[in-house]
Chains A and B, each alone.
Chain A
């Protein structure tokens, strides 16, 4: 009964999405106040019904309703309740419903918080969001219905993939999707701007906080995914340049370029058409990612079960949405002209370079991700592009970018930077280079060119970021949210760079065969296997190894890697034993029984790896602070007051 209610709610949501689009776009075109109001109501209605549908699915999972096919395929009676909830988005159909819910939520937020926006403009934004919603509801109702019944009902479910039975994986998709889907708001703003033929840059101011919000969710989502892969997949890797990972990273790169480009457009009215194109691209890349993951055209560890009908639908949807937006761009963008000029060392110039390098990296990663598809389509062979390609094409643009970040933060708008900032920067540059050399030598016993550059750039970004509030405090100037956000985000970037440099330069990984009592040396550490015992959990049994790690004879930690066999069957799962430290992680994963009393183990020394994710969190925090800057809220109130007085004047 409840699943049928859920199904029905989804149908209603589709109808409301259609209404939202018609009233939103039509109302704006005809300046019809009642229609525009209807569009706004449709947003609320759509959210309510999508939420009802989602709730129905959650209910089915929690109640272990195995007469619903999707529940039977992704859940199990022994699954603890919190994982039963997480299992809702553990498969294709449920994750689509989650997408839909996120889109409905963002649409609701935009409708609610943008009362200061120009009426018709807001209505167009709502209408475009409605068009996108139609696509997702239709996709679910035609090819991927989460409420399909299994008759007769299964006695027990197939279980949630044990890989997904983990905290990080329960929160990773919702946060990631909030990010992906959030770019639809910027997309809608851009399309509305193009539709209206607006020549001014006000839309940039309106779009910026929404883009920052979506971007920060995406940042956290990606970081979570990386952290999860590190401890759960058992092999200590934190980024694999897997097509699905790239599918989330590419929108992030576009989003990063976008928030910087929006700054220029908002402040100085420049790069208008470029920023519009970026806004369209960020969400297009999100949709592209969805296509790549669910259509089966690319092979990936993460990919959902594939079905050609779904692939065709997504491709059609992608073509309609992105193709439509790009045609709109081609039609309207040429009218936009930016008149102002700027100097070579002005902030605009640095932000331009920021975009250049980010987009270059994005383009090369996109090429590498799609290359196998091109080759296959042209029947030139089946290939994979290995991680070294991506590492190289990402590294090369990032080096100059990081260097310029430090300077750009101190650059003034329009005119070139000079004066006190320049001296400061030179001093910092010299200091960080020295520090980088010292860290290499004293910390790790060797100095390598790329490592030194990496450390130097990381410290450079962190130091130049901190220099800003320091200078402001000294001059007794306030630090607005936007500036603080920028500082923290860039500091986080430096921290992440520090982590990546440390890990990639100095990590040590070893596969060993050990019997109880034997030890292996990894970097300065001694990993000794002291015991192997059987263990049992709520829905699994397994073997656990106790590994004592010492350094210079002093025991530091005991790791407990496990090999589990889940009761629902399937292949064994590896749970790594990890010791977290301020400067490094110590890692052990249990392999197989090799006979003769020996087991295989993967042992790793991972210096500075935690800073990668900690830095990412700071980046997200910075984005959040910037989004909440009072400038956006204050001017919103001011504009609302102005609009109210205008309305009153009109009414008289």
Chain B
């Protein structure tokens, strides 16, 4: 049975739209994993948040897997994920390093004081240069760095236990703990 064009046209037009939407979704920056994944983690050496005379640097953690969590007191999502960060630190033996991004030192210290400190050390990135090196474009972001110094995984946005279990924990197994 030959179907007149005008009856098939809506379906064809819709199909075209769907193609565009699909492309549009793929373009969504949220989907783009950092070009950093698989490459060497950018080196940094910054002032410690608590004690400006001491330094916190990527070199301190070489040779074992560690986490870098970018956070700030002005970031609502950081508040969201804080409990999860505490839980991750309690349950796992890998160091979590905080990168306090473009923040006020006093406020940041008070935050940790009031809410608890999941980090073994916090680097104070006042002007944001280190964050740029890591390709950070929003807070919070969490990176998993392997024992060989390569970035294994990046998560944009507040991390949840579901994300941790699904995306980060499996990557820890082959490396062993600690």
Contact = CB atoms under 8 A, between A and B. Distances in A.
A308 B87 CA distance: 26
Contacts of B23: 377
Interface in B30-77: 30-31, 76
A23 B1 CA distance: 31
Given A370-B20, A374-B20, A311 B160 contact: no
B161 A151 contact: yes
Contact of B30 (A306, A327, A569): A306
B30 A158 contact: no
B14 interface: yes
Contacts of A329: 7, 10-11
A315 B21 contact: yes
Contact of B20 (A281, A284, A373): A373
Interface in B1-26: 1, 3-4, 7-8, 10-11, 14-15, 17-18, 20-25
A402 to B, nearest CB: 28
Interface string A266-280: 000000010001001
- Overall SS of chain B's interface: helix
Interface in A118-155: 148, 150-154
Contacts of A151: 83, 87, 161
B106 interface: no
B73 to A, nearest CB: 9
Contact of A297 (B14, B24, B76, B80): B24
Contacts of A569: 76
B18 A315 contact: yes
Contacts of B20: 370, 373-374, 377
B80 A72 contact: yes
A330 B18 contact: no
A91 interface: no
Nearest to B8: A330
Interface string A302-326: 0000111001100100110011001
A334 B7 contact: yes
Interface residues of B, number: 31
A380 to B, nearest CB: 12
B163 to A, nearest CB: 11
A333 interface: yes
A295 B25 contact: yes
Given A72-B80, A374-B20, A326 B28 contact: no
B131 to A, nearest CB: 21
A148 B162 contact: yes
Contacts of A318: 18, 21
Nearest to A308: B31
A158 B25 contact: no
A5 interface: no
B55 to A, nearest CB: 31
Interface string A368-380: 0010011011000
A306 B28 contact: yes
Given A306-B30, A334-B3, A315 B25 contact: yes
A237 interface: no
B14 A326 contact: yes
Residue from A152, A311, A327, A376 having most chain B Cβ neighbours under 10 A: A311
B11 A297 contact: no
A315 B22 contact: yes
B79 interface: yes
B132 interface: no
B8 to A, nearest CB: 5
B77 to A, nearest CB: 9
Contacts of A69: 160
B4 to A, nearest CB: 6
B18 A323 contact: yes
Contacts of B17: 370
B27 interface: yes
A326 B11 contact: yes
Residue from B10, B27, B84 having most chain A Cβ neighbours under 10 A: B10
Given A148-B162, A326-B10, A373-B20, A311 B87 contact: no
Given A311-B28, A373-B21, A330 B161 contact: no
A296 interface: yes
B7 A158 contact: no
B11 A312 contact: no
Contacts of A323: 11, 14-15, 18
8 contacts: A154-B83, A295-B25, A297-B24, A297-B25, A297-B28, A330-B11, A374-B20, A377-B24
Interface of B: 1, 3-4, 7-8, 10-11, 14-15, 17-18, 20-25, 27-28, 30-31, 76, 79-80, 83-84, 86-87, 160-162
Interface of A: 69, 72-73, 148, 150-154, 158, 273, 277, 280-281, 284, 291, 295-297, 306-308, 311-312, 315, 318-319, 322-323, 326-327, 329-331, 333-334, 370, 373-374, 376-377, 569-570
Given A308-B30, A330-B11, 12 more contacts: A148-B160, A153-B83, A154-B80, A158-B80, A296-B30, A308-B31, A326-B10, A326-B14, A329-B7, A329-B10, A334-B1, A374-B20
**Can you list the 10 inter-chain pairs with the closest CB atoms, starting with the nearest?**
A326-B11, A377-B23, A297-B24, A308-B31, A330-B8, A311-B25, A373-B24, A330-B7, A326-B10, A333-B7
